[in-house]
Each structure stands twice: as C-alpha cells, then as structure tokens.
Amino acid sequence: MATDDGKGLLIIYTGRGKGKTTAALGLSLRALGHGHKVCFIQFIKGRWKYGELEAASRFTDLLDFHVMGRGFTWKSDDLNKDFAAARTGWDLAQKVIEEGKHRLVVLDELTYLITYNILTEEEILTVLKRRNPTTHIVITGRGAGESLIQAADLVTELREVKHPYAVGIKAQQGIEF
C-alpha cells in the first residue's frame, strides 16, 4: 500500500455525542501500530484512574500521554485553578507541536478552552500553522467553531441518538472510563 507522508492532517471530532475521545484513542492506537510517535494531551480530565491511562503506560517508547486537567466542569471547586491547568496544558501543546517530534498530536477536549474563553480559535490556528507539515493534529470536544472547522481536513460530528444514562445505566469500566 502506498503512503503519503507529505501532508499532516487537521482532524476534528466534535458534537454532543459520546465517542470523541474514543475515536482519537483509536486513531492513536492505529498510529502506534505503525511505529509512529504519538502525543496525547487531555485538557479537562482529571488524574483519576481510567482505562486510557492504564493502556498508555504500556506504550512508553512511542506514546507521551499527559493529563493536564483537574476534571473541571460547571461544578468546579475552583475555576481559576482549572483555567490555569488548562493554560499549562496549552503551553505544553505548543511546545510539543513546535518541536515536531510526534507524527500525531491529540489535543483532547481542546474546544472547551475556547468555550471557557481560555484560548481563541485564532491562537490555536496560529500554532497549528507553524507545525511540521507532516504532523497530524486531532482536536476533540463539543462545539468546534467555524474557523477550526474551515481549517480542518476532516471533521466528524458525533450526534447522540441514544445513551444508557437516560435509562439509569451507570458508567462502566472499559466503556466510559
């Protein structure tokens, strides 16, 4: 099979449906399977134990996995700390992108930094334009803005049709976390 290493893609997984991070993880696994170096940066999730972290610990030679958030939501105990953690995550993301050592960089839940006015789409696009031309970037999160969508090569919008929470089924290990 022929490959084209000449164009790094900007990929966005957005929408209100479940599966944005899961899709990014699947793409990361595919890249790892081909021996590509991957950096996965999570901006919102906290450091509680979940499956992605367990799996990431098994790929230390090719996968750099960073949990930068405090798990913040509208119920946060300190939004200032959450915003500072997100900004630190963005500083790391800029460094990783500018270094150009990874074939794939995943910016998980980055769109929420725009929603909470921590970053602008223009700040993000400025950094992305300076990336190594063969570096693929994945951005996940609800509400991807029009500028990001226009700049992207691939946009998938996940739409919830049915969710187990609606009938009282709680989050399950290996599926939601």
The model's pLDDT over 5-54, given as tens digits with 9 standing for 90+, comes to 679 999 999 999 999 999 999 999 999 999 999 999 999 877 667 788 88
CATH number of 10-158: 3.40.50.300
Identify the band that residue 77 occupies on the pLDDT scale cut at 50, 70 and 90.
confident
The string of pLDDT tens digits covering residues 126-152 is: 999 999 999 999 999 999 999 999 999
Residue of higher predicted confidence among 101 and 176:
101
44 and 69 Cβ atoms separated by less than 8 Å: yes
End-to-end CA distance of the chain: 35
The answer to whether 103 touches 134, Cβ cutoff 8 Å, is: yes
C-alpha span between 106 and 20 (Å, rounded): 11
Domain coordinates of the chain in residue numbers? 10-158
Question: Averaged over 110-120, what is the pLDDT?
Answer: 94
Packed helices 121-129 and 79-99: angle between N→C axes, nearest 10 degrees: 20
Burial class (CB in 10 A: 0-12, 13-18, 19+), 105: buried
